[in-house]
Amino acid sequence: MNDWQHRPTLSGTYVELAPLTVSHAFGLFEAGKEPGVWTWLGNRQPQSLADSEQLVTDALDDPTRLPLVQLDAVTGAVAGTTSLYEIDERNRGLYIGHTWIGARWQRTALNTEAKLMLLRWAFDHLGALRVGWHTDLRNERSQRAIERLGATREGVLRSHKIRPDGTLRDTVVYSVTAPEWPDVRNGLEARLGRHPAR
């Protein structure tokens, strides 16, 4: 297996990313108890541990994605999940998504560092030419967060997906390209530097 199809383990000051397993289902269930976490996600909020286990199983069975767990690097607690997906080794591109973190970690250094580590993996290790994101057109908070990373808004895919409630979702597409990566990296490192040491 080459590294384009490999789920990495990446360690930072605030977060550790590791291959997702069913053993993380309980931690994900606990981290995702705030209903607001699920407002814009493609899955409904798990109502039981069995539901959470099924979500993990579905992620692991999806041939289009490499799912990772996000762990709080200080406490070891499961904070959420993220994935690399739509991996195109030939054209050296991939997307970061299927991402959520529990309410207590939102707008913290954990999310910023996780994105920085994934971008380093993509650009510096894999030699990616492009990394992208998809988000719901109605999810303005997510759009602002992706823009804070330094990504460029490319456009909107109309009627791109069906939401859990059956409505059609228009999807906003963002990307960072290899020539933009050094400035994006510097910006993310500067943001992390403004967080108190742990």
Mean pLDDT to the nearest integer, 29-53: 96
22: nearest Cα among 54, 62, 65 = 54
pLDDT of residue 6 exceeding 80, the answer is yes
Q: Is 99 exposed, middle or buried (0-12, 13-18, 19+ CB in 10 A)?
A: buried
Distances (CA, A) of 87 to 31, 64, 66, 128, 151: 27, 7, 9, 10, 18
Mean pLDDT to the nearest integer, 109-117: 95
Q: Say what the pLDDT of residue 1 is.
A: 58
Interatomic CA distance for residues 41 and 1, integer angstroms:
30
Give the total residue count for the chain.
198
CATH number of the domain within which 11 lies: 3.40.630.30
Contact 96, 83 (CB under 8 A): yes
Q: Say what the pLDDT of residue 158 is.
A: 98
Residue 46 lies in a domain: yes
User: What is the extent of the structural domain holding 150?
Assistant: 3-193
Number of domains present in the structure of the chain: 1
Residue 198 lies in a domain: no
Query: Looking at residue 166, what DSSP letter applies?
Result: S
